[in-house]
Structure 1
Amino acid sequence: MDSIIQGKAYVLGKNIDTDQIIPAEHLVYSLSDPEEVKLYGKYALSGVPVAEAGLPEGNTPFVADSSFESEYVIIIAGPNFGCGSSREHAPFALQVAGVKAIVAESYARIFYRNCVDGGFVIPYETSEQLNKSVLTGDELKIDVQNNTITNLTQNITYTLSPLGDVLEIVKAGGIFAYARQENLMA
Structure 2
Amino acid sequence: MSSTTVVSGRVWVFGDGLNTDAMYPAFAMRMDVPEAAKHVFYDVRPGWTEHVTHGDIVVAGTNFGLGSSRPVASLFRHLGVAALIAEEFNSLFLRNAVNAGLPALTAPGITGHFHDGDTGSFDIATGVWRNDTTGAAGQAKPLPPLVLEILESGGVLPRLAEQGYLPPELADLLRSGIIPADAGSGDA
Q: Please tell me the TM-score bracket, short chain as reference.
A: 0.7 to 0.9
Q: Distance in 1 between matches of 2:96 and 2:41?
A: 17
Q: Report percent identity of matched pairs.
A: 26
1-structure distance, mates of 2:129, 2:161: 31
User: Displacement, 1:2?
Assistant: 4.3
| 1:14-163 superposed matches below 5 A | 14-30=16-32, 37-48=33-44, 61-64=47-50, 70=53, 73-88=56-71, 90-119=72-101, 121-127=102-108, 129-163=109-143
CA offset at residue 176 of structure 1? Answer: 2.3
1:40–1:2 distance in 2 versus 1, CA, 3 Å: farther
Look up the SS of the partner of 2:48 in the other structure. Answer: coil
Say whether the 8 Å CA contact 2:126–2:141 is kept in structure 1: no
Amino acid at match of 1:124: L
Q: TM-score, normalised by structure 2?
A: 0.78
Task: Name the SS of the counterpart of 1:179 in structure 2.
Answer: helix
When residues 99 and 12 of structure 1 are mapped into structure 2, their CA distance, relative to the original with a 3 A threshold, is same
3-state SS of the aligned residue for 1:142?
A: strand
Aligned equivalents of 1:154, 1:91: Cα separation in 2: 29
Shift of residue 118 of structure 1? 2.1
8 Å contact 2:124–2:142 — kept in the other structure? no
Asked if the contact 1:40–1:96 (Cα under 8 Å) also holds between the matched residues in 2, the reply is no
Quick check: 1:19–1:47 contact (8 Å CA) kept in 2? Answer: no
CA shift at 1:113, angstroms?
0.8
Q: 2:182 maps to what in 1?
A: none
Asked whether 1:174 is paired with 2:160, we answer: no
Is contact 2:126-2:143 (8 Å) kept? no
Partner AA of 1:103 in structure 2: I
Q: Summarize deviations over 1:121-159 as a string: whole Å, max 9, x none.
A: 1110012x1212310110111233432121011011121
Deviation at 1:183, TM superposition (A): 4.0
The CA distance in 1 between the partners of 2:39 and 2:160, in whole Å, is 31
Amino acid at match of 1:94: F
Counterpart amino acid of 2:35? L
2:23·2:40 contact (CA, 8 Å) conserved in 1?
yes
What is the number of equivalent residue pairs in this alignment?
164
Aligned counterpart, 1:34: none
SS, match of residue 27 in structure 1: helix
Letter in structure 1 aligned against 2:78:
V
1:125–1:161 Cα contact (<8 Å) kept: yes
Unaligned runs of 5+ in 2: 168-188
- Is residue 54–residue 82 contact of structure 2 (8 Å, CA) maintained in 1? no
